[in-house]
Amino acid sequence: MSVDTVEPGPTARYAPSRRRGQGRLMVGILLLCFFTVTPFLAVVVLALTPEGVLTIPHAWPSDLTLDNITQILQVGDFPRWFANSFIYAAVSVVIILLTAAMAGYALARKRFPGRNVILWSIIATLMVPLEATLIPLFILVKELGGIDTLWGLILPTLANAQAVFLMRQFIMGLPDELFDAARIDGAGEWRMFTRIVLPLIRPIVATLGIFIFLWHWNDLLWPLIVGQSDEARTLTVGLATLNTEDVSTTNIMAAALVSVVPCLVVYAVLQRYIVDSIVATGIKG
Amino acid sequence: MTVLATKPSRPHATQDRPRRRRTPLERREAFAGVVFVLPVLIIFLMFRFLPIAGAGGMSLTEYAINGEATFLGAENYQRLLNDDVFWHSLGVTVLYVAVFVPMILVVAMVAALLLESIVKLNGLFRSLLFLPYVTSFVMAGIIWTWIYSSDGPINSVLSAIDLPAIGFITGDQILVLASLALVSVWKGFGYAMLILLAGLKAQSGDIREAARIDGANGWQTFWLVTLPMLKPVVFFVLVIETIFSFKVFDTMYVMTGGGPSRASYTLIYMLYDQGFRFFDFGYAAAIGMALFVVVLALSLVQRRIFERKEA
């Protein structure tokens, strides 16, 4: 796929023929932005509207309040769900990145018996949707005693074929000379990994880190079946149950707002990076 | 998922060397390789290979919650083929895919074409269009439940001008599925948009310019020049979104609960119900296998059709 070329083609971007239609195009793109952005604005306004006050779409609230947010923090162990989501995402990111970097390094740079078999069987698992193995995975975690625990939630998600594959591709692209030089200097294997590989793979670590975090933070199905009690319930599961219960619109919007803030912060800070890495690797969240 | 599109190769490493004793350095390297790959290997053996093998095995049994398994042979599959609910949920899923995929392709293509031509504030627009992608389906479902609700913005406008309310997620099946598809399009089109945009930017502008000079209007240029050249990228997006939408569950779980009267009861929803509401694990595993077969067949069929057109 030639999708990794981000440079604009040699199109005459400012040619008069192209500039003429700009006004119409602007209307189109503003409509699309209205489509993507307004729901967020609605969440913010609704979340800050005092309960019982007439609000959008009927009226703009006359005064705003943080009451809904403080209220929702007391509903059904909300802070606990938030912390669980964070642990689920953060711990998974760290372990996946470390193990995938190690495996990617071995699969790219070391010759050992069974290497190709291991590589191809890991890649082949990408063909099997996770949902198809949901039942045996649940039984396995149940037998291990991992139901309603955070480790039971985290462990099965550590098998991330995409991370292993992208790490391997990236490490294969590093110049051989670096490794040869380090070897001649007598660097041990672990030292070579921590001093040469880890610093050089920072771009792919960042890309994978962002996406693995978002996948976990936004994940519903697996946490739904593994974390039913408050001890292991994540924010997505908590929100989904709140939505079906008798909670006021303003309260549920406050909960939604709190849940989306970490994603928006990640996006605001790393926005250009996220966009570029989708184009470069085709990674899908 | 690019994995399927890229072919890893490292010619000098895969060449067959004549068999000989490994030197001490090579042995040290091989040992290090095994040690470094070991954590991932153990994780995959345990949580990927074992469940994949287990899925087939379990689907042939009646598996009770206490771990007792009775071998049934193909009985679960026979039951599946005679189960109206299964055919219904498969039909719902196919209908949903048929509504969702064209919708997301059109929106993503329009957005990509606009972004390609717009000069001013391009970066800002791109960020705003991509924004919903970082949220969860749960979050998206909560917002859109309100937007679609009887006292949401759309129905309020309708009632203000004395028009009947629209039951976006409570009415007709096709309306419900389209409304749910729109939520997924809202959240997800940013990805397809970026891939298509990269494809557009990789095209040489000369050919389109030539078409224009030859008198083709914008529409003709798009259909006869831009789109045919973009076909591999469109196909990539098409496959990814089809497979992705076949596994739809989150929006239904949050917004409709599979209803009204199973109008949005998808395959994964049935799997979830059979497994975790009725604890019929063997049967649920068989549904999982059906899903696997469908997804696999889809990617093969799409690949075949595409290759034939290319030839």
Is residue B57 assigned to a domain?
no
- What are the phi and psi torsion angles at B70 (to 5°)? -115, 130
B89-112 residue pLDDT tens:
999 999 999 999 999 999 999 999
Which of B115, B138, B240, B249 has the most A C-beta neighbours within 10 Å, making it the best mutation to test the interface with A? B138
* Mean pLDDT computed over B285-296: 90
| Interchain contact B203–A (C-beta under 8 A) | yes
pLDDT for B273 beyond 70: yes
Cβ <8 Å between B292 and A128: yes
| A37 interaction partners in chain B (CB closer than 8 Å) | 128, 131
**Residue A4: predicted pLDDT:** 44
The structural domain count of chain B equals 1
Question: B163 vs chain A: nearest CA distance in angstroms?
Answer: 16
Q: Which residue of B28, B138, B285 is in closest CB contact with A240? A: B138
Question: pLDDT band at B299, cuts 50/70/90?
Answer: confident
pLDDT for B7 beyond 70: no
Is residue B165 assigned to a domain?
yes
| A255 interaction partners in chain B (CB closer than 8 Å) | 142
Question: pLDDT band at B4, cuts 50/70/90?
Answer: very low
Is residue B6 assigned to a domain?
no
Question: Between A and B, how many residue pairs show a Cβ–Cβ distance under 8 A?
Answer: 344
Is residue B68 assigned to a domain?
no
* Selection from A10, A138, A177, A85 nearest residue B207 by Cα: A10
Average pLDDT taken over every residue of chain B: 85
Question: B36 vs chain A: nearest CA distance in angstroms?
Answer: 5
**Residue A280: predicted pLDDT:** 77
Is residue B70 assigned to a domain?
no
Q: Which residue of A26, A172, A240 is in closest CB contact with B118? A: A26
| B36 interaction partners in chain A (CB closer than 8 Å) | 102-103, 105-106, 110, 189, 193
Cβ <8 Å between B32 and A106: yes
Give dist(CA B179, CA B148) in Å, integer. Answer: 8
Cβ <8 Å between A106 and B37: yes
Question: B89 vs chain A: nearest CA distance in angstroms?
Answer: 15
Q: Considering only alpha carbons, which residue of chain B is nearest residue A7?
A: B201
What residues make up the domain containing B253?
84-310
**Residue B18: predicted pLDDT:** 56
Encode chain B in three state secondary structure: CHHHCCCCCCHHHHCCCCCCCCCHHHHHHHHHHHHHHHHHHHHHHHHHHHHHHHHHHHCCEEECCCCCEEECCCHHHHHHHCCHHHHHHHHHHHHHHHHHHHHHHHHHHHHHHHHHHCCCCHHHHHHHHHHHHHCCHHHHHHHHHHHHCCCCHHHHHHHHCCCCCCCCCCCCHHHHHHHHHHHHHHHHHHHHHHHHHHHHHHCCHHHHHHHHHCCCCHHHHHHHHHHHHHHHHHHHHHHHHHHHHHCCCHHHHHHCCCCCCCCCCCHHHHHHHHHHCCCCHHHHHHHHHHHHHHHHHHHHHHHHHHHHHHC
| Interchain contact B181–A (C-beta under 8 A) | no
Instruction: Name the residue with higher pLDDT: A207 or B18.
Output: A207
**Residue A23: predicted pLDDT:** 80
* Mean pLDDT computed over B217-243: 86
* Mean pLDDT computed over B289-307: 80
Cβ <8 Å between B249 and A131: yes
Which of A5, A24, A105, A112 has the most B C-beta neighbours within 10 Å, making it the best mutation to test the interface with B? A112
Q: Return residues 61-90 of A near B (CB < 8 Å).
A: none
Residues (pLDDT < 50) of chain A are 1-16
Is residue B38 assigned to a domain?
no
Cβ <8 Å between B1 and A162: yes
Which domains, ranges and CATH numbers included, belong to chain A?
77-238 (1.10.3720.10)
**Residue A53: predicted pLDDT:** 67
* Mean pLDDT computed over B142-151: 89
Question: B298 vs chain A: nearest CA distance in angstroms?
Answer: 11
**Residue B68: predicted pLDDT:** 78
Is residue B150 assigned to a domain?
yes
Q: Considering only alpha carbons, which residue of chain A is nearest residue B134?
A: A263
| Interchain contact B55–A (C-beta under 8 A) | yes
Exposed/middle/buried for B12, CB within 10 Å: 0-12, 13-18, 19+?
exposed
**Residue B3: predicted pLDDT:** 42
B170-210 residue pLDDT tens:
888 899 999 999 999 999 999 999 989 988 888 877 888 88
Cβ <8 Å between A100 and B40: yes
H or E segment to which residue A159 belongs: none
**Residue B104: predicted pLDDT:** 96
Q: Which of A52-66, B5-19, B150-164, B228-242 comes out lowest in average pLDDT?
A: B5-19
Here the CATH number for the domain that contains residue B306 is 1.10.3720.10
Cβ <8 Å between B292 and A132: yes
